[in-house]
Structure 1
Amino acid sequence: MQRTDVEKLFQLFDETANLLANDLNCTYLEALAETGENIFHDKVLQEDVSEVTRKRLDKYYFEASKQTFVKEDVRKAFQLAVLKGMRQNVQPNHQMTPDSIGMLVSFILEKFMADTKSFTLLDPAIGTANLVTTIMNYMHDYEIRAYGVDIDDVLIQLAYVSANLQEHTIELHNQDSFEDLLIDPVDVVVSDLPVGYYPDDMRAREFKLKADKGHSYAHHLFIEQSTRYTKDGGYLFFIVPNNIFQSPEAPKLQNFIKEHLHIQAFLQLPESMFKNKNAAKSILVLQKQADGVKPPQEVLLANLPSLTDKDQMETILAKIDLWVQENKK
């Protein structure tokens, strides 16, 4: 049976990462970043690999260099290899936004940005850049200047390699997302918010959404930090827990939103997408307040159907489209 390009690319990433992991005695994810760099530069960059490994890698890279692949296939194959590495070395901050969510966010974002052909975009918790590169591949007719921040150096390295292999320009910052960012305010913030507690209580004190006692919710601080780095009238698209407005800290978050933002939409993702229904998430769309920017007459609320239900999905996407058109008037 003929292999797809995604399967061919995954095999390339997987087998060369395994070779490097064994030779350099590093994790699969670290080796995946190394092999991604090699593929991008079309040569083995590691000086301390054995001669046998070098020859085997050269053979793989030479075979790959004779073929051309579309960006979306590169992203999918690289994502599969990253997922394999994450399963081997489970860490709470190593999670990836599923493709289906990335496609949905791209669809909705495109509706909101239909009046422009270029915009700036920030993901303050970019991880491996899977969400951002999904958007860039889906919205390929748009000129998107993208920025990303993450404290995890392995994830940032993977984001850098993935962006290079897909020929996307993303300016990456390896730092705590709640420090001052050397990034000008952007038109759009997009992020699959890390859920949990932020351990640095001293830094959290600089935020209105800090907890009165104990550690603050990181996902709340991300919303406040993102608001700081969004232009007046700009949009913020967050993937958030379903119960974000029901937690003990929710009243403070609601007051912050009321003061600085307009809620545009709250779209509940199908529970079937999540192993545990308590971990189910929604897409929250906000707009930063500005002179002349009015809140929507009605917030778009929807429970999204299973993505495999084509008819229901088409109905709900048409409803979103109509809602955006009405609100632009």
Structure 2
Amino acid sequence: MSHLTEMEKVFSAIDQTAIILRKELNCLYLEAIAETGENMFHGEILQDELDEVTKKRLEREYESINLEKIDGETIRKAYQLAILKGMKEAVQPNHQMTPDAVSLFVSYLIGKFMEGKSNYNLLDPAVGAGNLLTTILNHHHQLIDAAYGIDVDDLLIKLTYVNANLQKHGVQLFNQDSLQPLFIDPVDLVVCDLPVGYYPNDEGAKAYQVRAEEGHSYAHHLFIEQSLNHMKDGAYGIFLVPNNLFETEQAKSLHAFLKEVAVIQGLIQLPLSMFKQESMAKSIFIIQKKGEGVVTPKQALLVQLPKFSNREAMNDMMTQMNEWFRNC
């Protein structure tokens, strides 16, 4: 059986059972995905209110796949497809998923920047449905001692919880506002697809150096500062940021703060073709918290990526980047 066929089979089981549960429980498709994922993980149907006929229909679908024999990446991709379907149904601004190609590229960057470290801890302070985090775990799980995920949205946290369980990853999850005090020890690596926009809690923003002098502060600025607060000296932060990060009226305070506490390692602009509007385009921003032994690179890694589908151009770019890592 080909890899693709196996993934489609897992997706079909998730999708068909979620459709049944959505109708029977009168809930959103996204909520039904979480419910069916729980059933799959526990190996039993947990919804007591279902009648026997419905339970039999669900069991027949679950028996069509054996998750024990399927690798984590196949499960992740199948679960991701189901979540994407659900997000199209009930679009909310905070219900956006990091594209696969970007998650895999971030995973490559982690391999490069964390090279030589025997073990490390990882935090995603806006974990969403967990696609970015579980992609990283699937590629680097042997080196990651502990992984933490935080999100204010309880449905997204539940989806991450089920996502991680099905892929057999131990992740500590917190359902809270990440810009409020966090009870997490400092980590070696923070990775985050930053929520872009204004933070509505002006009182909460007062705790941050990068807050706006007047009006609402940018949440993505606050997230960067909060991440640095929870990073060990010498730790790395890899963030998806808006392309205009340093061009807005609030950029001055962010730049001053970063100059004080961090070293900028790189800024990698993602292909504009990935975004519906140029104003929504993002880059990968890599920083390192200052500390003993941390050296500012002679030249930051500044890259404009071609389309991920353009293999020749991507291979050339990767060669150039690998050269930067050898010389930095």
* TM-score bracket for this pair, using the shorter chain length: over 0.9
Does residue 1:28 correspond to 2:29, yes or no?
Answer: yes
Distance across 2 between alignment mates of 1:125 and 1:182: 15
Q: Which residue is 2:192 aligned to?
A: 191
Amino acid at match of 2:159: L
1:315 aligns with 2:316: yes
Cα distance in 2 between the residues matched to 1:231 and 1:142: 17
Is 1:153 the counterpart of 2:154 in the alignment? yes
- The Cα of 1:117 is off from its aligned counterpart by 2.9
Paired amino acid for 1:125: A
**2:69 is aligned with 1:68:** yes
Determine if contact 2:126/2:194 at 8 Å carries over to the other structure: yes
Instruction: Tell me by how many angstroms 1:304 deviates.
Output: 0.6
Which residue number corresponds to residue 202 of structure 1? 203
Percentage identity across aligned positions?
Answer: 50
TM superposition shift of 1:138: 2.1
- Where does residue 108 of structure 1 map in the other structure? 109
In 2, distance between residues paired with 1:144 and 1:304?
Answer: 31
Unaligned runs of 5+ residues in structure 2 are: none
Mapping for residues 83-232 of structure 1, pairs under 5 Å: 83-232=84-233
CA distance in 2, matches of 1:292, 1:136: 27
User: Structure 1 regions of 5+ residues with no counterpart?
Assistant: none
Q: Aligned to 2:129, what secondary structure does the other structure show? A: coil
Matched to 1:252, the amino acid is: S
Contact map agreement 1:192 1:240 (CA 8 A) in 2: yes
Distance in 2 (alpha carbons) for counterparts of 1:77 and 1:115: 32
Equivalent position SS for 2:64 = helix
Partner of 1:296: helix, strand, or coil?
coil
- Cα offset, 1:60, TM superposition: 1.3
Shift of 1:319: 1.6
SS in 2 for 1:194: coil
Q: Deviation string for 1:157-209 (max 9, x for gaps)?
A: 00000000000111000001011111100000000001001111110111111
Q: What does residue 303 of structure 2 align with?
A: 302
Task: Establish whether residue 57 from structure 1 lines up as the match of residue 58 from structure 2.
Answer: yes
2:315 aligns to what SS in structure 1? helix
Q: In the superposition, relative to structure 1, how do residues 96 and 66 fare at CA in structure 2: closer, same or farther (>3 Å)?
A: closer
- What residue identity is the alignment partner of 1:197? Y
Alignment length, in residue pairs? 327
Q: Provide, for residues 69-103 of structure 1, a one-character-per-residue CA deviation record: whole Å limited to 9, x for no partner.
A: 11101000100000100110011110000000001
Q: Is the 8 A contact 1:117 1:141 kept in 2?
A: no
Q: Does the 8 A contact of 2:186 with 2:232 survive in 1?
A: yes
Contact map agreement 1:178 1:203 (CA 8 A) in 2: yes
- What is aligned with 2:83? 82
Write the deviation string for residues 276-306 of structure 1: whole angstroms up to 9, x where unpaired.
1211110000000012212111111010111
Letter in 1 for 2:300: V
Which residue does the alignment assign to 1:264? Answer: 265
Amino acid at match of 1:95: Q
Contact 1:108 1:320 in 2 (8 A): no
| Alignment-derived partner of residue 17 in structure 1 | 18
SS in 1 for 2:17: helix
Residues 202-244 of structure 1: per-residue CA shift (max 9 Å, x gap): 1011111111111110000000000000000000000001110
2:160 & 2:137 partners in 1: Cα distance? Answer: 13
1:14 partner letter: D
Structure-2 separation of matches of 1:176 and 1:140:
26
The aligned amino acid for 1:25 is N
SS in 1 for 2:123: strand
Give the letter for the 1:65 counterpart: N
* Amino acid across the alignment from 1:325: R
Normalised by the length of structure 1, the TM-score is: 0.97
Is the partner of 1:64 in helix, strand or coil?
coil
> RMSD across aligned C-alpha pairs, in angstroms?
1.4
TM-score by length of 2: 0.97
Q: State the SS of the aligned residue for 2:173.
A: strand
C-alpha separation in 2, matches of 1:81 and 1:272: 24
Equivalence for 1:238: 239
Give the Cα separation in 1 of the matches to 2:145 and 2:320.
26
